[in-house]
Amino acid sequence: MLHSILVTGLVNGAIYALLALGFSLVFGVARIVNIAYAGLYMLASYAVYLLLQVVGLPAPLAVALAVAAVVVLGLAVYRVVIEPVREHESAVLISTIALTLVFQELVLAAFGGHFLGNPVWVDGITSVLGVTVTHQQVLSLLVSAAALGLLWLLLTRTRLGVAIRATANDREVANLMGMNVRRVEMWSAALSAALAGLAGAVVAPLTVIDPLMWQGPLVNILAIVVVGGLGSLRGSLLAAFLIGYVEAATVFLLPGGSYLKGAVALTIMVAVLLLRPEGLFGVAFEEER
Amino acid sequence: MPSRHTAASALALAAALLFTPAVPLAQAKAEPVKIGIVGPMAFIQGEDAWNGASLAADELNAAGGIQVGAAKRPIQLVKVDTNEIMNIADAANALERAITRDKIDFAVGGFRSEAALAMQEVAVDNKKIFVVTGASLDKMSDNVVKDYERYKYWFRILPPRSSDLVKASYAMLGAITAQVKAELGVPVVKVAVLAEKAAWTEGFVKAAQANIPKMGMELVGVFQPSATATDVGPDLTAIQATGAHLVFTAVSGPMGVALGRQAGEMRLPAIVFGINVEAQKEGFWKATGGKANHVSTLNFYADVESTPKTMPFVEAFRKKFGRLPTYTAASYDAVKILATAATAAGSLDGDKVVPFLEKTDTVGTSSRITFDKGHDVTFGPGNTVPLGVQWQDGALVAFFPNGWQGITFKGVKPFVVPPQMKKK
C-alpha cells in the first residue's frame, strides 16, 4: 500500500503543481486572486478537444494553439476585467468568479453538458514499484516537470525573471528602481495563463471534460496556494505534492471515504490558516508591504 | 333588384360558407394539452426526455391529438429546463414556473433523484400529475404509499426504484460471477464496490455489504468517490491492489466516463459491471477515447427486443436523432399513457386522471407498464426487466436477460470476460 500511495501521490502532486503554480505566480507578482485562472484551465481543455476531435489537428499543434489562445484570452481578462479594479481585492475576486461562471455558461451553450474526453497521446502502461501507471500519466508528469523546470529557469536566469521576482517581493520598490511594473504584471499574467492552458491540455486526456471541470481543481489550487503560502512558488510546489499525497493516502487508507479527499485538503488548509496564517512558506503580506 | 328567392339563396350560401370551416376552426382553436418535459436540457438526459416525448407527441398529433371529453385536442410540449445537474435547487423553481406561468397540465421527466424529490413536492402541491422517467430514489414512491392522498399524482415508469435496480443488478451479478468461475476457475470471486457518494447509492452500498458475502463472494472493499469526481485512478489502483475480480459500480455522473477510460488505460484485470449511466450512452465510447472495452452496465434500451415496441422505437429514435435513446426517452411511453388516461377520464384534472393512470396496463417501449401501490412501474419477470449491456469493440451489446427466470430477449449476445483477466 505504501508503494501505491507514493506513486499515486507523485502523479497527483505533479499535476496539482502545474495547476497551482500559475495561480501562485500571478498572486505573488500582482497580489491578485484570479479565479478566472480555473476557467482558463477549463477553456484550454475544451480548445484541445475542439482542435483535436472536431478540427482534426495533430495533438502537439492542437495543444500549442490551445495554449496560445488561452494566453491571449488571459491577457485580455487581465487588461479588461482585472486591471481596472485591481486595487480592490474583493472586486477582483467577485469579477473573476463572475467571469468564470460566464465561461462556464458559454461552454455549456456551445458544447452542451455532455461529458467529453480526449484520446491519450501515448498508450500503454508501466509498473512502478508494482503500481500500474499509464504512459499518459508518465507523460503528464514529465510535461509538468519540464514546465516547472523552464519556469524556474526563467525566474532565476533571465532579466524578466528577476523583474518578476523583484515585483513579487516589493512592487513599490521595484517601481522605484525603474522597472515597468505594469509590463511585468502583464508578463506574469501571460505566464500564468500559459500554465493554466498547459495544465488544461495535459490533464484533458486524464480527466473528463465538462463545464464544471474547473470547480474541483479550483478547490485544490486554493488549498495548495494557502498551505504553501500565498505567492510562494516554492511553497506551492511543495504543497501540491503534500495535497497529492494526502489525497492518495485518503483513498488508500479510507476507501469508503474517498469522497472526502477534497474535504481533507480543505481541512489542512484551514488548519494551516489557523496555525500559520501566512502558510508554510509565505510571508506576512501586510508586514511585507 | 334581387328576388326574395335569390336573397335567400345568397344568405344560405353565405351561411354555408361560414359554417363549412366551422369544424376545422373549432379544431384549430382547441386548447392544447400542455405537457411539461422537465429535465436538464443542456444534458443528454434532458435532451432525450424531450426527444422521446416529441416522438410521442408527433404521433398523437398526426392522429388528431388527444380526445378529451368532446374535443380532440393537440399536444403541446413545454420545455422545462431544470438545470438540475448544475444546480439541484433550480429544478423545483423551474417546475413551479411551468405550472403557474406556462399552465402545464402534466409533467414528465426528472433525472437527479434529489431534484426529482423536490419537484415531487411542487407537483403534488399543485395537484399536477408528474410522471418520472429518470430518477430512481425509493423515497418518492414510499411517499405515495405513506400519504396517498397527497402524493397520488406522482408516478414513475423508468427507471424502476433503486431497490429494484439493486435486485436486477444482483441477478446480473450472479450470472457474471458464474461465468467468471467457469472460465477462470476462480473458487471465490472477489468483489470491490465502487459507488459514488449520493442519496441513490446508499441502498446499493448497504445491499452490497449484506448480500455479496451471502452470495458466496468476497467483498474486498467499498470505494466511494465524490459524485462529481472526474478521476478514479487512485481508487482503481487501490482496487487492483485488493485483487478484485469484479468492480461492482453505482455511478451516474462524470465519474462513469473516468471509470471506463481509466480502467481501460490501466488494463484493470477485473470486470467492471453495475450501474453506470454514462456507459448507457452511445457517446460513451468516444468520451473514453475508445478505452472502455468490456465495461458493462444495467440499461433499458439496446438493439434487442425487450418488447415488440422496442425496436420500432429505437429505430425511429435513431433515424430522427442519430443515436440510441437513453432511458429518459421513456418519456415517449409517459406521454402515451397520459394521453390514454386523459381520454378515459375525459378530463385533464389530476384527481380525475389518477384513477385511470393507476389502471394502466400496456406494452411500452422497454417493458410492460403497470403500476404498483407506490405508483412505481412494476418490476420483475413479466413486467419491467432491465437489460445488461456491455461495450464490445465499440458496440453496445446486450447480454442479459439470457435465460434468467426463463426470459431471453431476442438479440442478446454472450458476456465477454476481459482478456486481461485470463492473464492474471
Q: What are the φ/ψ torsions at residue B107 (nearest 5 degrees)?
A: -125, 140
Contact residues on chain B for A218, CB-CB shorter than 8 A: none
* Identity of residue A63: V
Q: Over chain B (424 residues), what is each successive 10-residue block's mean pLDDT?
A: 47 44 50 96 93 97 94 96 89 96 97 93 97 93 97 95 88 91 92 90 88 93 89 89 94 90 91 93 89 94 93 95 93 97 96 97 95 95 92 94 89 92 69
Of A12, A116, A216, the CB nearest to B228: A216
Rounded to 5 degrees, φ, ψ at B125 are -60, -35
Question: For residue B225, which residues of chain A lie inside 8 Å, CB to CB?
Answer: 258-259
Q: Are B175 and B400 in contact (CB under 8 A)?
A: yes
- Nearest-CA distance A278 → chain B (Å): 30
Below-50 pLDDT ranges, chain A = 285-289
* Cβ-defined contact of B234 to A258 (cutoff 8 Å): yes
> Is the preceding omega at residue B414 within 30 degrees of 0, hence cis?
no
Q: Which amino acid is at A88?
A: H
- Cβ-based contacts of A259 with chain B (< 8 Å): 196-197, 224-227, 229
Q: Which of A11, A112, A117 sits opposite B42 (nearest CB)?
A: A112
Measured from the Cβ of residue B282, the count of other Cβ atoms closer than 10 Å reads 16
Return residues 57-86 of B near A (CB < 8 Å): 85-86
Q: Which three cell numbers stand for residue B79?
A: 420545455
Separation CA A124–CA B8 (nearest Å): 93
Which value does ipTM take for this structure?
A: 0.80
CA distance B140 to B154: 8
Among B43, B226, B290, beta carbon nearest to A112: B43
For A48, A58, A155, B116, the CA distances from A233, given in Å and listed in that order, are 27, 33, 10, 46
CB count, 10 Å around CB of B225? 28
Instruction: Tell me whether residues A258 and B235 touch, CB distance under 8 A.
Output: yes
Q: Which helix (H) or strand (E) holds B219?
A: strand B218-223
Chain B partners within 8 Å of A12 (Cβ): 234
Distance, in angstroms, between B243 CA and closest chain A CA? Answer: 13
Measuring CA to CA, which residue among A73, A72, A69 is closest to residue A96?
A73
Q: Return the closest-CA partner of residue A191 out of A18, A66, A26, A63.
A: A26
| CB-closest option in B42, B197, B237 to A259 | B197
Q: Which of A16, A71, A10 is nearest to A217 (CA)?
A: A16
Give B262's contacts in chain A (Cβ within 8 Å). Answer: 134
Bond from prior residue into B418 cis (ω within 30 degrees of 0)? no
Name the residue among A8, A120, A262 with its Cβ closest to that of B237.
A8
Smallest Cβ–Cβ distance between A114 and the set B43, B224, B229 belongs to B43
The closest of B151, B146, B83, B148 to B117, measured between CA atoms, is B151
Nearest CA in chain B to A10: B234
Q: Which of B325, B326, B324, B360 shows the shortest CA–CA distance to B341?
A: B360
Sign of the dihedral defined by the CA atoms of residues B82, B87, B88, B94, in that order: negative
Number of Cβ within a 10 Å radius of residue B255? 28
HSE toward the beta carbon, residue B424, CA cutoff 13 A: 22
**Mutation target among A115, A122, A132, A140 for the B interface, most CBs of B within 10 A:** A115
Q: Tell me the nearest-neighbour CA distance from A121 into chain B, angstroms.
A: 10
Distance separating the N- and C-terminal Cα atoms of chain A: 46
From B418, B267, B205, select the one nearest A123 (Cα to Cα).
B267
Euclidean distance between CA atoms A11 and A173, whole angstroms: 39
Chain A residues within 8 A of B257 when measuring between CB atoms: 115, 117, 208
What pLDDT does B29 receive?
62
What is the interface size between A and B, counted as CB pairs within 8 Å? 119
Compare all CA atoms of chain A with the CA of B44 and give the residue at the minimum distance: A114
Q: How far apart (Å, rounded) are the C-alpha atoms in residues B237 and B254?
A: 19
Report the residue of chain A nearest B222, measured CA to CA.
Answer: A256
Distance CA(A37)–CA(A224), nearest Å, equals 14
Calculate how close chain A gets to B420, using CA atoms only, in Å. 13
Looking at CA atoms only, how far is residue B335 from chain A in angstroms? 25
Partner-chain contact B254 A210, CB within 8 Å? yes
Q: Which of B202, B204, B237, B323 is most worth mutating to test chain A (most A CB atoms within 10 A of its CB)?
A: B237
The burial class, CB within 10 Å (0-12 / 13-18 / 19+), for B72 is: middle
Residue with cell 490533464: A203
Q: Note whether B261 contacts A109, CB cutoff 8 Å.
A: no
Residues of A in contact with B266 (CB under 8 A): 125, 132-134
Q: Are the C-beta atoms of B143 and B376 separated by less than 8 Å?
A: no
Q: Is there a contact between B234 and A12 if contact means CB atoms under 8 Å apart?
A: yes
Q: How far is B245 from chain A (nearest CA, A)?
A: 16
Q: How far is it, in rounded angstroms, from Cα A196 to Cα A19?
A: 6
Q: For residue A4, list chain B residues with Cβ-Cβ distance below 8 A.
A: 237-238, 241
Closest CA to B129 of B159, B108, B100, B157: B108
Interface contact flag, A256 B223, Cβ < 8 Å: yes
Distance of CA B281 to the CA centre of its chain: 12
Residue B112 in contact with partner chain A when CB distance is under 8 A: no
Measured CA distances, B373 to A112, A165, B85, B128, B359 (Å)? 38, 71, 30, 18, 11
In chain B, residues 272-291 whose CB comes closer than 8 Å to chain A: 278, 283, 286-291
Q: Which residues in chain B touch residue A247, judged by CB atoms under 8 angstroms apart?
A: 234
Per the CB < 8 Å rule, is B289 touching A118?
Answer: yes
Q: Which pLDDT does position A7 carry in this prediction?
A: 86
Dihedral angle over CA of B388, B394, B395, B398, nearest 10: -10
Contacts of A261 in chain B (CB under 8 A): 226
Q: What radius of gyration do chain A's Cα atoms show? A: 19
Contact B254 A216 (CB under 8 A): no
Does the distance separating the beta carbons of A208 and B257 come in below 8 Å?
yes
Helices (H), chain A: 2-30, 36-49, 59-77, 89-111, 135-157, 159-169, 171-176, 181-203, 215-228, 233-253, 261-275, 285-288
Q: If you average pLDDT over every residue of chain A, what do you get? A: 86
Q: Quickly tell me which residue has 484541445 as its cell.
A: A48
